[in-house]
Structure 1
Amino acid sequence: MPVYVVGVPAPFGRQETWVKWVDPDPKFDQTPRWGRVNQGPESLMPERIRLVSSVEEDLTNPMDSGFGPYSLTRLCVKTGGIYFNVHPNRKVGSRVNRAQISSFSSHLSHFFDPQIMKMYQPEYVSAREYAKLVKSNQARRALVEAAQVSAVSQFESPVLRFVKTDEAALNTAMSQAQRVAARLEPRIDQLYQILRTGEQDRDKDPTPRWQAGYDLAYGRTLAAKVRTESYNAMLAMGKRGMEFKDQRNNVWVLAPADSMEAGSQYESISNKAKLYLQRVIQEHPGTPWALLASQELSHPLGWKWDEEFIDLAPRPTMVAANDNANNNTPQDEQARMLPKPPPTRPIPKL
């Protein structure tokens, strides 16, 4: 018997998303709040790495996968039915912000053309058959293994400005900034070492979904690797000593750049990252993979040193001309009593 379901879309490559929740009882606070809801992923196992950065806000910015939650959608497919993927704020081709989301609906920031996404249908097979499909190709195996790694953070707010009062203080500031990169490098390298094992089999897989997934994961990991390692290398360069072009300047600024001043070894990694990400955009337009690849490429992969001047002289303290100038404010004769706000209940498990 065919099974037909009208249901919610699964977030792309993620188990959870956020639902705008308003208390159904008007006696309680009616301010919209956000609660986590288990609504995915669209595939049996996650096929998207958890590389969190300012480029991709992860759980705070989920997007539509184009399909429903895996188990329920598989039931429909295997019985000859259909999973009707619906969302009240679906808007293909433009970003949907949280303010536009209807109450009791999940937040998905981007939606994609169903006709395009048909080519990227997940593998609706048993767990045993899925494991067999994954093991049949090194690129697939590497992608699924990398997606199991706990979330890895990129630079969200790296230190970019270094004031030079003297050489010792400058070196100390740069050394402290290097420690942040040093903590991230092993986590990013773990992803890199897993994914690079799949390179040899990447071209052997003709499936668009697996190709897009692997290329995006490897391209983003390479981009994170080169950003982090070249940042560290640029700080090491700064610690060896640099001369300001304008002797009046006293601040070194590490700015994102398309050039790779840290060294030729980083240039090759940068070029490889761009190759994989650009291939995703060219071969899989109009998909979540292409959107994430374009977002990644919108941020330069390298760094350069700029310089500027900041006045370090202490500012004079402002003293009021008349201490009694503000003593003539009229006082309310009667206290204003504000109504007590309605009580707030915790968001239930969604």
Structure 2
Amino acid sequence: MSAIEANSPLQAEEPVVDGGVWGFLYDMPAWGISLVVHVGILLALMSITYVIETQRELEITSTITPEEVRQEEYVIDTEVTEEIGSKSDLNITGPSMAAAQNAGYDNHREEQERIEENIMDVRVQTPVSLPTPNEAEMMESIDLTGTTEHAGGTDGAIDRIVQEIAASLRQRKTLVVWLLDESASMQDRREAVAKRFRGIYQQLGQLDIGADVALRTGIISYGKDVHVLQKEPTGDLDLLMKAVESVQNDPSGLENVFTAVNEALRVYGRERKKMNAEMMLILVTDERGDDYHLLEDTVRRCAREGVKSYCVGNASVFGREKGFVHFKWEADGEQFEGDLPADMGPETVAAEGLQLPFWTASARGLERMSSGYGPYTLSRLCAETGGVFFLAEDGNRRKWDPTIMRQYTPDYRPLKDYQQQLSTNAAKAALVNAAKQTLLDGDDIPVPRLWFQANDDNILRRQITEAQKPLATMDYYVKELQKILEVGEKDRDKLDSDRWRASYDLAMGRVLAMRVRAFGYNAMLAEMKSNPKSFEQAGNNRWILQPAEDVNAGATVRRLHKKATEYLTRVISEHPGTPWAFLASVELGDPLGWEWKESKMQIAANDMNGNNANRPQFSPEEERERQDRRRREEKKRASQPKL
């Protein structure tokens, strides 16, 4: 060992501890050190236990039960909620309520993700999320409230209402209020309800759901005024029957349905609270209601108070305000019947269909084609409150596939949302403006004359001149419609639903097609007037204009023809199996050009005094019958009641 190593302090001396913690431990006996170690272990174990409990507490707070997951996935999922207003006929929640739910859902989800990111421990197994049901599964498991339902007439609607009442009674006590339209046209339907009324409540009493003590009913009728016929809710069938059968016809032609709904809420609201009951309103009517300006306030009030509204009503005419009700009436001891106009639509906020006539005989009567939906006003009331609009009468002979039509359900969002859409999309605004114009003046658009007597050139020219007069006015009118619709073409590709796209394209296609027909029609008349054609077959004395492929006009009209065909063809290809495609196919069913066809007709000869020598001579009895028919027609028109 070297001298240096021998004298090194590291080798020659014991380590020195200068006090402090280490000095304390150095001097501590063995049992003390053992105590310190065990206390440290206990503290460590306590720390571990505390962390685990804290994590569990947070995890439990953010856990969602399977039932809640299913409910939230259906009610507030963004995609489904958007379909409620404009594309789907589910309408489980009101669109305005769904919008509020969407806003809350986004915030909740963001907060939940933040919490999970901060506290999730990789040692804890993450729960498996429940799969979102597809549309078919939801259709099978979800009650289709808020829809328009084809119930199979008044009896079918009543049967469905019994089911709705029974479903409510299984949950809690129920107060049902019937609101009966006093219109004369509703007499048959009211009688049908009255005949079924006793059976309704007897059927409910047999379901073992406590209907005898849990169900109470009130009765209201309405027309120009509102009449509370059974003010004290009761389960006494005799009193209810007496009230229903006491409804009188109101000749005013007014149906203040929303005034009646608000009166029902006022009259029966206190009793409902006393019963702690569910409240259901059942409207029986055939029109939209004349006081529809009260719609928004009524919807908000019903939704706020949790009152469901159901309606037994008629389908709206496709894209139009006016519909028709077949009615029988008496005037001065005589019986009459006929189709009378009634305010039955439209199925959307504003009419979105053009009231333009078809020029071919095969297409007559399409102005009465049903939309398959109830009027917007009552359908919205039902949709927002979770009820159902039952179609008791649908005059549509054509039936559309409900699976296809689900994508074309009217938008039942509030009026302000509809107005916002019109202000932000020129195509929507143009369509509504054009439809409004035809609503005001559509009845003035003539169907052109297609045949002309031609046994004499002067007679032929006079008839052509008379036929050209209304055509000039009509062409100007249709040209103005074209200008209105063309303003919206720039936003056509921004239309956000199949219904809007189909409606706009059909409107533009029909307007352009009508202009092409009018141009060609006028050109054919002008040519015939200036240079009458000769008949090829002897004895023929009449010219008939019939559709043909050749468009007899200039380059401008040919461009219109091409554009009209493109629009109408697009409707047919993009919206198959819908009313829009059907009407487009009808428009294109006949070519847009014209050609002359000769034929023969019976023409009465005049004597030297200008009298018709070949006029049929009637016996006095026959002449009286003819005059009586004319008198009855005049009286029928004059005595038509207001519906």
> Per the shorter chain, which TM-score range?
0.7 to 0.9
User: Structure 1 residues 304, 155: CA separation in 2 closer, same or farther (over 3 Å shift)?
Assistant: farther
Check 1:310–1:85 CA distance in 2 against 1; reply closer, same or farther (3 A cut): closer
Q: Which residue of 2 aligns with 1:145?
A: 433
- Mapping 1:110-121, distance limit 5 Å: 110-121=398-409
CA contact (8 A) 1:192 1:218 kept: yes
Equivalent residues in 2 for 1:152-163 (5 A)?
Answer: 152=442, 153-161=444-452, 163=454
| Pair 144,251 (structure 1): closer, same or farther in 2 beyond 3 Å | same
Specify the code of the residue in structure 1 equivalent to 2:345. G
Measure the CA separation in 1 of the matches of 2:602 and 2:344. 53
- When structure 1 is superposed on structure 2, of 140-149 and 32-41 the one drifting more is 32-41
Structure 1 residue 81, shift from structure 2 partner: 2.9
Report how far residue 206 of structure 1 moved.
Answer: 3.1
Q: Secondary structure at the match of 1:77?
A: helix
Corresponding residue for 1:282?
573
Aligned to 2:642: 349
The one-letter code of the counterpart of 1:33 is G
Is 2:591 the counterpart of 1:300?
yes
Q: Work out whether 1:132 is the aligned partner of 2:420.
A: yes
Matched, 1:254 2:545: yes
8 Å Cα contact 1:61/1:108 also seen in 2: no
Match of 2:127 in 1: none
TM-aligned CA deviation for residue 66 of structure 1: 2.4
Could you say which structure has the greater relative contact order, defined with CA pairs below 8 angstroms and 6 or more residues apart? Answer: 1
Please tell me whether the aligned partners of residues 53 and 154 of structure 1 are also in contact (alpha carbons under 8 angstroms): no
Cα distance, 1:216 vs structure 2 = 0.8
Map of 2:356 onto structure 1: 51
Count of aligned positions: 305
Note closer, same or farther for the CA distance 1:169–1:16 as it changes in structure 2 (3 Å cut).
Answer: closer
| Matched residue SS, 2:368 | coil
- Bigger drift between 78-87 and 264-273 goes to 78-87
2:397 is the counterpart of 1:82: no
Deviates more, 1:212-221 or 1:78-87: 78-87
Q: For the residues of structure 2 that align with 1:140 and 1:217, how far apart are their CA atoms? A: 11
Residue of structure 1 in register with 2:314 after alignment: 8
Aligned with 2:470 (options 166, 180, 184)? 180
**Bigger proportion of residues as helix:** 2
Distance 1:266 1:162, change over 3 A: farther
Give yes or no for contact 1:6–1:85 (8 Å, CA) kept in 2.
yes
For 2:460 and 2:359, the matched residues in 1 are separated by 27
Deviations 1:263-319 (A, max 9, x none): 33322212221221121122112222122212212232111234568899979989x
Alignment partner, residue 209 of structure 1: 499
Counterpart of 1:40 in structure 2 is 345
CA contact (8 A) 2:452 2:463 kept: no
Compared with structure 1, are the counterparts of its residues 227 and 155 closer, same or farther at alpha carbon in structure 2 (3 Å cutoff)?
farther
What SS does structure 2 have at the residue aligned with 1:3? strand
Shift of 1:50: 1.4
Q: Distance in 2 between matches of 1:139 and 1:232?
A: 31
Residue by residue over 1:157-177, the C-alpha shift from the partner in whole angstroms, topping out at 9 and shown as x without a partner, is: 4143362745x6655543333
Match of 2:525 among 235, 249, 254: 235
Separation (CA, whole Å) in 2 of partners of 1:314 and 1:32: 38
Structure 1 Cα separation of the partners of residues 329 and 546 of structure 2: 46
Taking the aligned partners of 1:177 and 1:247, their CA distance within structure 2 comes to 25
Separation in 1, partners of 2:319, 2:358 = 16
Give the letter for the 1:185 counterpart: D
CA deviation after TM superposition for structure 1 residue 232, in Å: 1.1
- Deviation by residue 1:235-275 (Cα, 9 ceiling, x = unmatched): 23334536648596876543321221233332221222122
**Superposition pairs for residues 15-26 of structure 1, below 5 Å?**
15-22=321-328
- Rate the CA distance shift 1:123–1:174 in 2: closer, same or farther, 3 A: same
User: In 2, are the aligned partners of 1:21 and 1:347 still within 8 Å (CA)?
Assistant: no
Q: 1:191 to 1:250 in 2, by over 3 A?
A: same
**8 A Cα contact 1:234 1:262, kept in partner:** no
8 Å contact 1:64–1:112 — kept in the other structure?
no
Cα distance in structure 1, aligned partners of 2:402 and 2:604? 61
- Pairing partner for 1:200 from 469, 475, 490: 490
What is the TM-score of this pair, normalised by structure 1? 0.74
What's the Cα RMSD here? 3.6
TM-score by length of 2: 0.42
Match of 2:562 among 264, 271, 275: 271
Q: In the TM superposition, what are the counterparts of 1:324-343 in structure 2 within 5 Å?
A: none
* 3-state SS of 1:151 partner: helix
Q: Does 1:224 align with 2:514?
A: yes
The alignment partner of 1:52 has SS state of coil
Query: C-alpha displacement at 1:48, in angstroms?
Result: 0.8
Q: Any conservation in 2 of the 1:261–1:303 contact (CA below 8 Å)?
A: yes
Shift of 1:42: 0.8
User: Is the CA contact 2:452–2:460 (under 8 Å) kept in the aligned structure 1?
Assistant: no
1:32: Cα distance to partner? 4.2
Separation in structure 1 between the aligned mates of residue 336 and residue 521 of structure 2, nearest angstrom: 43
Q: Which moved more, 1:127-136 or 1:74-83?
A: 74-83
Q: Distance between the aligned counterparts of 1:230 and 1:53, measured in 2?
A: 16
Distance 1:119 1:282 in 2: 15
| Unaligned ranges ≥5, structure 2 | 1-305, 608-612, 615-635
Taking the TM superposition and a 5 Å limit, the aligned residue runs for 1:164-175 are: 165-166=456-457, 171-175=461-465
How has the CA–CA distance of structure 1 residues 3 and 257 changed in structure 2, closer, same or farther, with 3 Å as cutoff? Answer: same
For 1:139, give the aligned amino acid.
A
Structure 1 residue matching 2:477: 3-state secondary structure:
helix
State the AA in 2 paired with 1:349.
Answer: K
**Unpaired segments ≥5 residues, structure 1:** 91-106, 319-343
Q: Percent identity?
A: 38
Going from structure 1 to structure 2, the CA distance change for 1:30 and 1:312 (only over 3 Å counts) comes to closer
Partner Cα distance (2:371, 2:547) in 1: 31
Could you say if the C-alpha distance between residues 247 and 13 of structure 1 is closer, same or farther in structure 2, counting changes exceeding 3 Å?
closer
- Partners in 2 of 1:143 and 1:295 — Cα distance? 20
2:564 alignment partner, SS class? helix
